[in-house]
Structure 1
Amino acid sequence: MSYHQRLGRRTSLAIAIFSALHVSASLAEEGAAVDMEEVTVTGSLLGQSSLEEIKSYAGNRSILTAEMLEKSASLSIDAALQQVPGIKVQDETGTGVLPNVAVRGLSASRSGYTQFLVDGVPLTLAPYGHTGQSLFPATLKSLDRIDIVRGGAAVQYGPNNVGGVINLVTKPIAEDWQTSLEEKVTFFSGGNHLTDTYLRTGGQVNESFALQLEGNIVKGESFRDHSDTDVQNWILKSRWDIDAEQSLGVTLQQYDAETDMPGALHTEAFEQDRTQSLRPNDEFSGDTTRATVQYNRQFDSLGAADGGEFNWTTFGHNSSRNFQWDFTTDPSADHWADTRAPATHLRSSPREFKVWGTEPRMALQFNGEDVNHKLTAGARLVKEDIDYQLGQVLLSTNTESIPRDWHLETSAVAIYLSDEIQLLDQRLTISPGIRYENVDMTFQDLIAGTETDNSLTEVLPGLTVGYQAGDNWFVYSNAQRSLRVPQIAVIRGVGEEGAELAWNYEAGLRYTLGDSVSLNTSLYRIDFKDQLLYNSFEQSFDNIGETRHQGIEIEGSLTPQSLTNLTLNVAYNYLDSEQREGVNTGNELPYASKHQIHWDASYAFDSVDATLSGFYYSSAFSDQSNAEEENAAGTTGELPSYMVWNLQISKTTELSGDGTLYTALSVNNLFDKEYYFRGIDVSPAGRYPAPSRSISAEVRYTF
């Protein structure tokens, strides 16, 4: 069967499912009783991503609210995520253009093991064939809050959820027309500076239509040489309230990014001057045009159901990105990225992505005398078209060649069903669910002139249990099967590439006492089968077999009754990672720090807020063999522990009319801690310096 025949079959299947749901809803509506009590139902597991929803969520989950994002002194999304237990970030650019986010010890490179969403829609370049975030079309200023779900979401949000789901929630359209102008300037030692300009205007145009335009421009240099950055992120949002039950939202986005990449340093160069760059030709560029349409219909009653919701989301984007980097085959080099040797080649990896997806979802609420049910059913069709090329220039002769030219077409259908069962006066909630994934991938090697098909089908069950043990106590547990399909960077055209599969388990206890005290403790375990790790020497991926990630996460906050202006937050993660197969059996996984601590203390007086925050990560190994000594190329060796402190002081002034003026002064890496990661992606050999101390001044005028 050809690719287009398979796509037609899957399109018909998705349309049939949608039609069945729509017809059922229409028939039920015609027979609905007019005197039923109105019930608001949502089929989204993430809901509104609010703090209130966390209290009864049957999994470990954190919300970084708008207030927390504002007070944290964070310069980027990845920096903000370091407040969350279980998350570790390798800062590659100092500007947030290319986040490398690791969750619970999973590989950080391009954040490839965590599903990022924007307002519930996949952010990644290709949800199936290219989950690595080598283009990250989001900026911190455009966000209202960040929802980090580490467990219990795999049935509804898949695939690629081994490390959980991170939902970036953008700023909503204001009820009344509102305009905000904001400028933030960050100064680094050595004279480099970075500007972060943000503007937003929008609100209700009339009773039924709302519109909002926002733009975020990041421009300048980070703390290192060869770090010029230019990012533009433009978003146009609209919402049409068709009537009291129906709404239609449309979001359009244009994102463009260009940045020089300073790269890693060999040990001697790092100790001499960590701000220098030895890779003058390394750079990144990317752009994307994205569109999302979301239709929502609420039903007061549907036949036997006491309420319901129908939601239909369609999304698509056209994206491109390119890395350029130095490559050496010089005999004196210990690695192709060894900066001690002269570059012999200039390589580039242009990639083009065309992605389209549609997802109808229906939720029905049934209330009984002893048992309540909320049935949620949905289906998603995704089509991906990826061009994957590797270009090379031999510098001695300026001869161009294309060693690799691949093309991947993917057609994927997912169907999921869950039943949220409430018992014991709604104190006990048991939610079994199942997700079915069917993926067809057609891989073409355009140089070799070959074509292979790779298909896989997986059934992914999940179960969550939550119990409201009292007014303040909530106990939960969950188990879920997670999937990551073969990536285009891994496929070699043999037609039998397998998926990466994992079982995730959690058990936890949550305590809340109003707004003054909260405590969450969670035990977790990930049993990973056929985990792939990048081998920078061979520029390929090694299947290291079974791995285990387990530990405990603790997160708490306190506002003392005797000092209500003070808020204290602390989070701790203990991570025990282990390779369970092969020659490195028993070793820890690379970059997996055993101990991770995050903290902040905020104090408000009059209209001034002061926040002191920080994080600590214990030492970690940087390769599978757990080598303690650093080798000549800088690809192995133990990474030392590090502790970083941040400080921010802000003031909000109410102006005449409805205007407000916000000003802030912040210091990141307050004590200028010098620490580093191992090289990343196109510069994997050597020490990659982490950001040095920076000072930021910010002003925002809203009217």
Structure 2
Amino acid sequence: MEMNYLKIAGVLTSLGLAQAGIATAQTEDQVDQNRRLDQIVVLGSAQDVTTFAGSAAYLEADLLDVHADTDVHRILRVVPGVNIQEEDGFGLRPNIGLRGTGLDRSSKITLMEDGVLIAPAPYAAPSAYYFPRAGRMSAVEVVKGPSAIKYGPRTQGGSINFVSTPISDDPRTIARLQGGQFNTLSLYGVTGGKIEKGGLVWGGQIEAAKDTTDGFKELDNGADTGFSIEDYVLKTSVGSTDNATIPWHLEFKGQYSDEISDETYLGLTREDFNANPDRRYTASAEDEMSAEHSEQSLRFVTELGGFDITTLAYQTEFKRDWFKLDRVEGVSISSLLASPENYTDALGVLHGADSSAGGLRLKHNNRDYEARGIQLVIGREFATGAIGHAFEVGIRLHEDEMDRYQWVEYWTQTNNDLAFDSQTVPGSDSNRIDSAEALAIHIKDDITIGRLTLSPGLRFEDISLKRENWGSDTDRLGAPSITENDVDVVIPGLGVSYEASDGLFIFGGVHKGFSPPAPGSTADAPEEAINYEAGLRWTAGPIATEAVAFFNDYDNLLGACTASTGGGCDIGDQFNGGAVEVTGLELSARGDLAEFTADTGFSFPASLAFTWTQAEFQSAFSSDYEPWGDVSPGDELPYIPEFQANIGLGIARDAWSLDINANWQDEARATAGSGSIALDDKIDARTLVDLTAGYDITETLRVALRVKNLTDEVYVAALRPSGLRPGLPRQFLMSIETRF
């Protein structure tokens, strides 16, 4: 299959080059010489959002530095259209959706770091049990609408790209130390730069981050509930000087991280949550996620014969074993927390009673992931008469797999302490490999005619999915049972942008939304939709505003069975949800209000993000997928609040600054339904306020006080995976940072 893909890729690349070459043969002098060379980018800068033919957001380094969050949930709250479900209070396992897509483990959107697919196995097992550490990022790019088809495979809601710290043109060092409540300590440092030597520009950079905490939850036996995460990145580069006839740049990136976190799927009963929301039952005291992640990538960028050419080869590996409580006295923790009154013996164990011998079942959720690929993007800007073009063609060959090899242990609880009893044979609980091979091709052209820009695009995905299941053959000596599924899809899109006047853009678009099925899926078809958007973007001086209406018309919504959704089904299976309609409105504004005041030397940065979303099923059905259950037409999708808003306000002058961010989220339901939300299914509305006060002691030394959840609001962050889960309580942090 790989050889056929390479032939197809070569033919299409040649056709793309021929098309651009023919079109530009007579108009070379009209070519814009200020191209971006690197074609594997999402936006590139905040300025690029202004003329973008679609809805997008670019969060640059200065904005990320204000609150210096390591929790990606808190970072993305400032972007309208982003749906978030918290889980652990620290953002270790983010649940993110865009415009009403599913949120579970961020598996319904395309996640990237520096343009590289970063989910553990993006096609075969996209659930984001690994997520890039937000604290080391220099920017975050969010793309929604028709431009998302460039960044598949998932084009329903859009894509999020995390931009790692680039090698500085000049040598520089940044070091930051932050500590605070819950015995929290964060260390961050980066050093490196570029030098010119031997007619070339050489670069190098080392970056390191470590975050530790004892956690805010309180185990009944007094043990810690925190985590320790280390993350290291090495970058080296070599390239031509500015005056080179043929500019080029080669960069290697290596990343390694490891995590030990005392996290669990076990939540609380409502009665226990009301008494102490931060409580954790002793039965989960042995729960621990251990994980390692690595990435290597090599990127080559050049301009040759008027073509911008970017080649990227990458490989990622992720190994994890989430050892966690699965059953109590034979009852799944999901069923136990959903109806505690029906399982008095098991509930008694949670409350500290002695269990039977081996009465606690803990599972080794042990999985190894691999992904690798190579992608080529060729672009050229040219003109045919008065019509400008920014044409590109891209090809990606990719393969990934998840090796699922799990077993269980049995423990006994006595006098509020846990002791090992026995274990099953490794591989006896789950013993399979899910894999995928994919060829992806995209073609797009930004066509500019005066003030009008048309952005047609086309994406093709050829995906081969396979599940090899050895069942009870834990040594994998025999032949596995094999389930295969091949999916071919053409994904068209069209974006339109018109500059009605200086700074005022009207834009809109339509594109096909797509999400592939999983290996071994019980679903009959991939997830598909037709998505529409229309909006206005106005920029005046330092003030930028945007208003976008969107409508996503699903033919077939898919739901994936995972332990994090509550289980109750075969993990990995997918379910058809039929037709779904998602309608919404996004409003955003950002700028410096000092523009409207007298020149006092103060700056008043401000931002606003508002989202209205209505996501409803259009047909009736019954499903074993727990978040859906029995569905009627008009039922709302779970975990999608109707309203959410974010306001950021700041004041700064000379060496000091003060910034406040307030985030409000409407109530939501945990399972599909309509009308008033039953108490047992309700995630309450909540308002979270974060504050940061900073002071520059010198030009190179800055201190800051940060308060998360300033009002100490107590709220239910989620009702899944199993039981009520609290959000982060108020936390005070102090930091000191030096730059030189």
Same fold (TM over 0.5): yes
User: Counterparts of 2:249 and 2:195 in 1: how far apart (Å)?
Assistant: 15
| 1:232 counterpart residue number | 230
Q: 2:140 aligns with which of 139, 146, 150?
A: 146
Indicate the SS of the match to 1:195.
strand
Q: Are 2:178 and 2:186, in contact at CA under 8 Å, matched by a contact in 1?
A: yes
| 2:271 counterpart residue number | 268
Matches for 1:321-470 after TM superposition, within 5 Å: 321-328=320-327, 330=329, 335-336=334-335, 338=337, 340=347, 342=349, 344-395=360-411, 398-401=422-425, 402-423=428-449, 425=450, 427-447=451-471, 449-470=480-501
User: Cα offset for 1:595?
Assistant: 0.8
Deviates more, 1:661-670 or 1:331-340: 331-340
Q: Are positions 1:110 and 2:105 aligned together?
A: yes
User: Cα offset for 1:695?
Assistant: 0.7
Indicate the SS of the match to 1:578.
strand
Q: Are 1:600 and 1:614, in contact at CA under 8 Å, matched by a contact in 2?
A: yes
Q: Are 1:344 and 1:394, in contact at CA under 8 Å, matched by a contact in 2?
A: yes
Indicate the SS of the match to 2:75.
helix
Q: 2:203 aligns with which of 207, 210, 218?
A: 210
Could you say if the C-alpha distance between residues 497 and 64 of structure 1 is closer, same or farther in structure 2, counting changes exceeding 3 Å?
Answer: same
Indicate the SS of the match to 2:682.
coil
Q: Are 2:28 and 2:382, in contact at CA under 8 Å, matched by a contact in 1?
A: no
Deviations 1:254-295 (A, max 9, x none): 111110115411112211211221222322121112111111
Could you say if the C-alpha distance between residues 581 and 77 of structure 1 is closer, same or farther in structure 2, counting changes exceeding 3 Å?
Answer: same
Q: Are positions 1:562 and 2:569 aligned together?
A: no
Q: Are 2:86 and 2:718, in contact at CA under 8 Å, matched by a contact in 1?
A: no
Deviates more, 1:194-203 or 1:158-167: 158-167
User: Counterparts of 1:674 and 1:110 in 2: how far apart (Å)?
Assistant: 24
Could you say if the C-alpha distance between residues 158 and 327 of structure 1 is closer, same or farther in structure 2, counting changes exceeding 3 Å?
Answer: same
Tell me the amino acid that sits aligned with residue 214 of structure 1: E
TM-score (norm 1): 0.89
User: Cα offset for 1:215?
Assistant: 0.4
Q: Are 2:43 and 2:49, in contact at CA under 8 Å, matched by a contact in 1?
A: no
Q: Are positions 1:502 and 2:538 aligned together?
A: no
Indicate the SS of the match to 1:349.
strand
Q: Are 2:59 and 2:141, in contact at CA under 8 Å, matched by a contact in 1?
A: yes
Q: 1:520 aligns with which of 546, 561, 564?
A: 546
Q: Are 2:149 and 2:155, in contact at CA under 8 Å, matched by a contact in 1?
A: no
User: Cα offset for 1:174?
Assistant: 1.3
| 1:667 counterpart residue number | 707
Q: Are 2:80 and 2:610, in contact at CA under 8 Å, matched by a contact in 1?
A: yes
User: Cα offset for 1:115?
Assistant: 1.2
User: Cα offset for 1:437?
Assistant: 0.5
Could you say if the C-alpha distance between residues 95 and 377 of structure 1 is closer, same or farther in structure 2, counting changes exceeding 3 Å?
Answer: same
Matches for 1:593-604 after TM superposition, within 5 Å: 593-604=641-652
How big is the alpha-carbon RMSD for the aligned residues of Structure 1 and Structure 2?
A: 2.7
Indicate the SS of the match to 1:54.
helix
User: Cα offset for 1:596?
Assistant: 0.4
User: Counterparts of 1:641 and 1:36 in 2: how far apart (Å)?
Assistant: 55
| 1:251 counterpart residue number | 253
User: Cα offset for 1:699?
Assistant: 0.8
Deviates more, 1:400-409 or 1:329-338: 329-338
User: Counterparts of 1:34 and 1:18 in 2: how far apart (Å)?
Assistant: 21
Q: Are 2:664 and 2:686, in contact at CA under 8 Å, matched by a contact in 1?
A: yes
Tell me the amino acid that sits aligned with residue 437 of structure 1: E
Indicate the SS of the match to 1:130.
coil
User: Counterparts of 1:236 and 1:19 in 2: how far apart (Å)?
Assistant: 35
User: Counterparts of 2:533 and 2:13 in 1: how far apart (Å)?
Assistant: 33
Deviates more, 1:42-51 or 1:73-82: 42-51
Matches for 1:57-206 after TM superposition, within 5 Å: 57-72=52-67, 74-136=69-131, 138-187=132-181, 192-206=182-196
Deviations 1:385-435 (A, max 9, x none): 321233223447624152321112211001111121111x2x101111111
User: Counterparts of 2:677 and 2:30 in 1: how far apart (Å)?
Assistant: 71
Q: Are 1:79 and 1:89, in contact at CA under 8 Å, matched by a contact in 2?
A: no
| 1:294 counterpart residue number | 299
User: Counterparts of 2:331 and 2:568 in 1: how far apart (Å)?
Assistant: 17
User: Counterparts of 1:394 and 1:87 in 2: how far apart (Å)?
Assistant: 40
Matches for 1:692-703 after TM superposition, within 5 Å: 692-703=729-740
| 2:689 counterpart residue number | 645
User: Counterparts of 1:669 and 1:501 in 2: how far apart (Å)?
Assistant: 39
Indicate the SS of the match to 1:686.
coil
Q: Are 2:586 and 2:609, in contact at CA under 8 Å, matched by a contact in 1?
A: yes
User: Counterparts of 1:430 and 1:97 in 2: how far apart (Å)?
Assistant: 40
User: Cα offset for 1:627?
Assistant: 8.4
Deviates more, 1:364-373 or 1:350-359: 364-373
**Number of positions where the alignment pairs a residue of Structure 1 with one of Structure 2:** 668
Deviates more, 1:88-97 or 1:273-282: 88-97
Indicate the SS of the match to 1:269.
helix
Indicate the SS of the match to 1:392.
strand
User: Cα offset for 1:250?
Assistant: 1.2
User: Counterparts of 2:8 and 2:470 in 1: how far apart (Å)?
Assistant: 31
TM-score (norm 2): 0.85
Q: Are 2:650 and 2:658, in contact at CA under 8 Å, matched by a contact in 1?
A: yes
Q: Are 2:184 and 2:212, in contact at CA under 8 Å, matched by a contact in 1?
A: yes
Q: Are 2:24 and 2:384, in contact at CA under 8 Å, matched by a contact in 1?
A: no
Indicate the SS of the match to 2:73.
helix
Q: Are 1:91 and 1:99, in contact at CA under 8 Å, matched by a contact in 2?
A: yes
| 2:658 counterpart residue number | 610
Q: 2:515 aligns with which of 461, 484, 506?
A: 484
| 1:689 counterpart residue number | 726
User: Counterparts of 2:185 and 2:327 in 1: how far apart (Å)?
Assistant: 35
Indicate the SS of the match to 1:327.
strand
User: Counterparts of 1:23 and 1:351 in 2: how far apart (Å)?
Assistant: 45
Could you say if the C-alpha distance between residues 167 and 333 of structure 1 is closer, same or farther in structure 2, counting changes exceeding 3 Å?
Answer: closer
User: Counterparts of 1:641 and 1:509 in 2: how far apart (Å)?
Assistant: 29
Could you say if the C-alpha distance between residues 331 and 157 of structure 1 is closer, same or farther in structure 2, counting changes exceeding 3 Å?
Answer: closer
Unaligned runs of 5+ in 2: 219-223, 338-345, 350-358, 413-420, 473-479, 621-630
Tell me the amino acid that sits aligned with residue 273 of structure 1: N
Deviations 1:522-579 (A, max 9, x none): 0011122332334625134442222121110000124242156112211111111101
User: Counterparts of 1:66 and 1:337 in 2: how far apart (Å)?
Assistant: 45
User: Cα offset for 1:673?
Assistant: 0.4
User: Counterparts of 2:550 and 2:19 in 1: how far apart (Å)?
Assistant: 40
Q: Are 2:53 and 2:147, in contact at CA under 8 Å, matched by a contact in 1?
A: no
Q: Are 1:154 and 1:482, in contact at CA under 8 Å, matched by a contact in 2?
A: no
User: Counterparts of 2:28 and 2:526 in 1: how far apart (Å)?
Assistant: 50
User: Counterparts of 1:519 and 1:430 in 2: how far apart (Å)?
Assistant: 22
Tell me the amino acid that sits aligned with residue 605 of structure 2: T
User: Counterparts of 1:372 and 1:308 in 2: how far apart (Å)?
Assistant: 15
Could you say if the C-alpha distance between residues 584 and 393 of structure 1 is closer, same or farther in structure 2, counting changes exceeding 3 Å?
Answer: farther
Q: Are 1:64 and 1:147, in contact at CA under 8 Å, matched by a contact in 2?
A: yes
Q: Are positions 1:549 and 2:582 aligned together?
A: yes
> Percent identity among equivalent residues?
22
Indicate the SS of the match to 1:132.
coil
User: Counterparts of 1:272 and 1:251 in 2: how far apart (Å)?
Assistant: 49
User: Cα offset for 1:166?
Assistant: 0.9
User: Counterparts of 1:653 and 1:610 in 2: how far apart (Å)?
Assistant: 15
User: Cα offset for 1:648?
Assistant: 0.8
Q: Are 2:260 and 2:291, in contact at CA under 8 Å, matched by a contact in 1?
A: yes
User: Counterparts of 2:155 and 2:722 in 1: how far apart (Å)?
Assistant: 29
User: Counterparts of 1:353 and 1:344 in 2: how far apart (Å)?
Assistant: 28
User: Counterparts of 1:395 and 1:141 in 2: how far apart (Å)?
Assistant: 37
Q: Are 2:70 and 2:135, in contact at CA under 8 Å, matched by a contact in 1?
A: no
